[in-house]
Amino acid sequence: MILAGDIGGTKTTFALYEDDAPYSEALCVQHYHSQEYPHFFAILDHYLQAVNQDIHVACFSVAGPVFEGHCQTLNLPWLLDADKITQRYHIKKVFLLNDLQATAYGTLVLPEAEKVLLNPDQVDCIGAPPSGNRAVIAPGTGLGEALLYWDGSKYHPSASEGGHSDFAPRNALEIALLKFLFEKYAHVSYERLLSGPGLFTLYQFMKIHSQGDDDPVLTERLTSEDPAALISELALSQSSACCVKTLDLFVSILGAEAGNLALKALATGGIYLGGGIVPKILPKLKDSTFIRAFVEKGRYSALLRKIPVWLILDPQTALHGAAYYASSKR
């Protein structure tokens, strides 16, 4: 059996895969709240005792940079070590992948039904998909980015920490936003904005900047519920003007950074949007806000208009990607 895991700051998922089965056919899928466990071994012990299967290769998608089989997760106090996992569980081969690198591998086996083209009016993806490099950008607990280099015959996914690059404002509103953020942080990265916590930060800014209504009921709900989910819900239902403006700004900045990534990777093969937030705001991503910001790159706008932008629907794409990678290393 192949063991795959997706270790995130909020949720950890494990699954088993038979050696020759399609990667969408995950077995014994279990989800855990990451914050409830003191370390990685505690959560994996729990899963392996429950499934009681012989594992010969494992791969774990981890939210953080991976160096020589080690990863110190950024949003959890966990240190993962591939060698120690091998020794503890007697698994022949254990691999760690950055979560976005795993997602990138997952896009290579992603069924057509599990993705949505956001710019069908600009690009034609009927028949053979466009060739060339690809890239993945995924807002969730943080902001992940990855590249897929095309060598002419196959793709080579590569991790990055591009989500931590400097936020670059494009207009007067975003300059005001940057000044607001500098009061909170010494370094303002795109992750400070394009993430679940970032969406709430944008709401706080818009509430001040646009002098939004001070609704005590909404304020109470934002403290007792998931702020990002609530802001998105109220924006999509047009129930809060401030939330509508917040989501507009979030999607515009996401489009701009996706365009930046497309230029840096020369991603003529396409941009893939992943993470837990984007499927929930699909109606907003389908309007002109995202694509307009994506293509507004001056002399290179014509190039950006030719690049397909796909939204990943399958929340287990990183998990499938980890299994795909593990299978290739048997």
103 and 199 housed in the same domain: no
Same domain for 126 and 92: no
Verify that 309 and 209 share a domain, yes or no: yes
For residue 255, the one-letter residue type is G
| Cα–Cα distance, 63 to 80 (Å, whole number) | 11
Residues 130 and 99 in one domain: no
The pLDDT score that the predictor gives to residue 250 is: 99
Q: Which domain holds residue 137?
A: 113-313
Instruction: Give the mean pLDDT of the chain.
Output: 93
- Percent helix, strand, coil in the chain, to 5, is 45, 20, 35
What SS3 state is found at 206?
Answer: helix
At 177-197, the pLDDT tens digits run 999 999 999 999 999 999 999
Q: What is the pLDDT of residues 124-143, one digit of tens each?
A: 665 556 789 999 999 998 99
Phi/psi of residue 142, each to 5°? -130, -160
Same domain, 50 and 63: yes
Hey, what are 172's tokens? 């007067």
Residue 82: the pLDDT is 96
pLDDT at 6: 96
* Res 312 pLDDT > 80: yes
Residue 246 three-state SS: helix
Domain co-membership, 122 together with 185:
yes
Q: What span, in angstroms and rounded, lies between the C-alpha atoms of 167 and 263?
A: 16
Convert the pLDDT of each residue in 240-255 to its tens digit.
999 999 999 999 999 9
Q: Say if residue 90 is in the same domain as residue 51.
A: yes
CATH number of the structural domain spanning residue 230 = 3.40.367.20
* Domain count of the fold of the chain: 2
State the pLDDT at residue 22.
63
The reported pLDDT for the residue numbered 19 is: 79
Question: CATH code at 9?
Answer: 3.30.420.40
Q: What gap in Å lies between CA 7 and CA 2, rounded to an integer?
A: 16
pLDDT of residue 237: 96
Residues 39 and 68 in one domain: yes
